[in-house]
């Protein structure tokens, strides 16, 4: 499932992120890549354990926690502390698949990367190139979203970032271990959840059909989830 989630960040949060990142110290992005991916990766990152990385990572996590669409689509069990990267002119990331397991260097815990997310922090008119290119069963998708918007997609997907030819592209990126490991099952549950919300608005919460659909949704989550 590939999903565009608009307005994850408020304008005030976005402005704060941009201001803090503008003063940040950036390092080579290869520090979080595996051996194979590092050879394909040319970008910059904020050090994960820096004060800037921790502060802005907490801001992003709080924004995700209040977003019902992210919760419905990802069904998060654990979210890896958000990271921050930038692609300046000439930078790129060739096709790769994200590592299956990610260890957090501070806490020591490990997560299985079921879902990848990119939260855009610069608007499309601020740079040329830089499209996130995601390959899935239905073809290749180019993603370039407004600042504050997020794209969510399976971490199993082959993806890349096109070379920047003008300007600078800033983003936050992170992975989620879902309560439901199978992407197909997550997609069914997300569509089911959205349909229930639409039906509730039309029929009301007390309608017997709504109660039955809600019970079935939760029973499917119970059957498919791994905690």
Could you give the count of Cα atoms lying within 13 Å of 110 in the half-sphere of its Cβ?
Answer: 6
Expressed in angstroms, the distance from the first to the final Cα of the chain is 21
What are the residues whose beta carbons fall under 8 Å from the beta carbon of 226, sequence distance 6 or more?
A: 77, 179, 180, 181
Q: Annotated binding residue at 128? A: no
List CB contacts of 64: < 8 A, sequence separation 6 or more.
8, 70, 71, 76, 79
Per-residue HEC secondary structure of 25-79 comes to CCEEHHHHCCHHHHCCEECEECCCCCHHHHHHHHHHHHHHHCCHHHHHHHCEEEE
For residue 126, what is the DSSP state?
A: G
Residue 216: which residues within 8 A CB-CB, separation 6 or more? 192
Asked if residue 18 belongs to a known ligand binding site, the reply is: no
Q: Which of 86, 104, 16, 106 is nearest to 56 (CA)?
A: 16
The answer to the question of whether 98 is labelled as a binding residue is yes
Annotated binding site for 2-oxoglutarate: 169
Annotated binding site: 96, 98, 159, 169
Annotated binding site for Fe cation: 96, 98, 159
């Amino acid at each position: 499932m590939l999903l565009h989630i608009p307005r994850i960040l408020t304008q005030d949060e976005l402005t704060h992120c941009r201001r803090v990142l503008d003063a940040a110290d950036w390092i080579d992005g290869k520090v979080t890549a595996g051996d194979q991916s590092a050879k394909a990766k040319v970008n910059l990152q904020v050090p994960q354990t820096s004060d800037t990385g921790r502060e802005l990572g907490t801001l992003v996590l709080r924004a995700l926690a209040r977003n019902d669409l992210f919760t419905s689509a990802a069904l998060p069990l654990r979210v890896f502390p958000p990271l921050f990267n930038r692609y300046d002119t000439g930078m790129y990331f060739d096709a790769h698949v994200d590592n299956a397991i990610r260890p957090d260097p501070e806490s020591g815990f490990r997560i299985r990367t079921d879902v990848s997310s990119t939260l855009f922090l610069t608007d499309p008119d601020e740079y040329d190139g830089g499209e996130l290119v995601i390959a899935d069963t239905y073809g290749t998708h180019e993603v370039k979203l407004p600042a504050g918007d997020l794209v969510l997609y399976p971490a199993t997907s082959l993806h890349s970032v096109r070379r920047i030819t003008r300007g600078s592209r800033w983003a936050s990126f992170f992975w989620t271990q879902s309560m439901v490991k199978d992407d197909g099952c997550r997609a069914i549950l997300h569509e089911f959840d959205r349909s229930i919300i639409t039906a509730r608005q039309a029929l009301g919460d007390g309608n017997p059909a709504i109660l039955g659909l809600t019970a079935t949704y939760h029973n499917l989550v119970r059957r498919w989830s791994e905690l």
